[in-house]
Structure 1
Amino acid sequence: MKKVFLLFIIAMAVACKNEPKEKVNAPTKTVEVKKEVFPAELGKVFEAHGGIEAWRNAETLSFNKGDEVHTSDLNSRKIVVNSPKFSMGFDGKEIWSLEEVKGGLKRDPSFYYNLYFYFYAMPFVLADNGIMYEKVDDLVFEGTHYPGYKISYKANIGTSPDDNYIVYYNSKSYKMEWLAYTVTFKSKAPVDNYKMIRYNSWENVNGFVLPKQITWYAKDKEGKYAPTTKIVDFTLPLISKEKLGDSFFEKPVK
């Protein structure tokens, strides 16, 4: 129901935008074009998934994870996560949550509100501001080599600037295949223990190649990566150039 409502809002925005308007002579403005600073190989990865320029022109991203509807403003990074059991989000200033559970929250909103946005918006979020890139050794899985880049953040960028990511891609298609990542949210200190996700299914969403399913992997007794039972499916994807109003991301008044 919430997805239908979101589609209705975007449709109304498009309708209003297409209404005839009186021509107004406005002063010419100078627009500064953003210069990208990521490695050329990652540029090819972004291009294989729809292109970084097209991504920067998009405004709204939405997807479902189970019964959770995750909706994001791609420029401000305002986010709302709605489900029958809880709601949380970021209104541009504060992280909020309506989840009330006896004994405390089941999920920390500061950690969870944008967690799956980052997993879903790969690889494009790896072109955010404040990122440093480092070429790393290939990941070798079942005899196939996957080239990789480590992504780290400058100090004071985001809630967990000590988090690191490594994106591994197909050397022929340049599509992203694997993501290694660390979690420092609670420790607030750098760690070397990487978790591993395989991006094993993609779909075309309005010209963008976005994940349909991801699977966590762990090393077995022989030190080889094997799939775990943790699998996440993404459904009802939506990406649009239409912008949602600020009130959409505000904490609802009870």
Structure 2
Amino acid sequence: MKKILSLAIMTLVMACGGTKQEQNIPVESKPDYTSHHIPAITKVFEAHGGYDNWSNLKSLSYEMGGSKTLVELQNRYTRIESENQTVGFDGENVWVYPASENADRQRMRYNLMFYFYAFPFVIGDPGVNYEAMEPVELDGKTYNAVKVTYDNGVGDSPNDSYIVCSDPQTNQMQWLMYTATFGGQASQRYNLIKYDGWKSMGGVMLPSSLQWYTYADGEVGDPRGNATAFENIQVSNDYPAMTNFEMPEGASIAKMPEGR
């Protein structure tokens, strides 16, 4: 997936690093993030609290499947702690600690779940294109649909595409269709995720669970495994400590795949 302009939130100083809050994060001046938005996607952003509210948040954290994730939202610095490994992004490198022969795999994985979790807001960045589509029927219900694509050179996987499917009455996102092309060629086969348990956090709506489904020939099939649950979700308008994202001595750097 992508780390747009590199596919976040928390009221914390998260135990994901255990350091107290600092105010020395370098902040780049940001362009107008909304001038390229079209009405169809703006309605979805507004149904989830508004893109301005999202843009004002500085940190997001959550627990998922035995790991703890902390994201500094303005620059997408990231730290993911699990029992045997810590993965981070310091603004330049994706690093893995302890050092690992398989570190390169984390170049895609490190922000994959954050990117899905932070929909629809992660598709609000510059370099993203929108197309209002004809309504889509999923599991017996009709949804408004907006196709999302990327400019060349944006993120790690500019050939990815998404279709945001929202309730026509509330404009709230219910399903996400996506292609996965990291390090490869464009695909026409869409995967499917259902979003549930939306909660208001820091002025924006965030999901509590994501459920993948089989999807073929326009038909929704069975759930693919168990739903992915997100717990201890926190957002904040304060920056997390930058020490959370610094690469430890002896860590491996995850490299981009060949051809990127």
| Identical columns (%) | 30
CA gap of 1:5–1:125, structure 2 versus 1, over 3 A, is closer
After superposition, residues 23-172 of structure 1 pair within 5 angstroms as 35-100=34-99, 104-105=101-102, 108-172=105-169
Which entry has the higher C-alpha Rg, 1 or 2?
1
* CA deviation profile, 1:71-114 (whole Å, cap 9, x unmatched): 1111111111111121111100111111556xx42881101111
2:203 to 183, 207, 211: 207
* CA deviation profile, 1:217-244 (whole Å, cap 9, x unmatched): 1137994433222420001111111012
CA contact (8 A) 1:88 1:99 kept: no
SS at 1:171 equivalent: coil
CA contact (8 A) 1:59 1:74 kept: yes
CA distance in 2, matches of 1:131, 1:219: 25
* CA deviation profile, 1:129-149 (whole Å, cap 9, x unmatched): 100111223221243111111
SS at 1:148 equivalent: strand
CA gap of 1:97–1:110, structure 2 versus 1, over 3 A, is same
* CA deviation profile, 1:183-228 (whole Å, cap 9, x unmatched): 11132x1110111000022122222210100100113799443322
SS at 2:45 equivalent: helix
Matched residue type, 1:62: S
CA distance in 2, matches of 1:53, 1:7: 29
The structure where helix makes up a greater share of residues is 1
Question: Which sections of structure 2, spanning at least 5 residues, go unmatched?
Answer: 1-12, 24-29, 251-260
* CA deviation profile, 1:39-92 (whole Å, cap 9, x unmatched): 112112111111111111111111111211111111111111111121111100
Q: Give the TM-score, by structure 2 length.
A: 0.81
CA distance in 1, matches of 2:38, 2:192: 22
1:247 to 243, 247, 257: 243
Residue 198 of structure 1 corresponds to 194
CA RMSD of aligned residues (A): 2.6
Count of matched residue pairs: 233
SS at 1:248 equivalent: helix
SS at 2:208 equivalent: strand
Matched residue type, 1:9: K
Residue 9 of structure 1 corresponds to 20
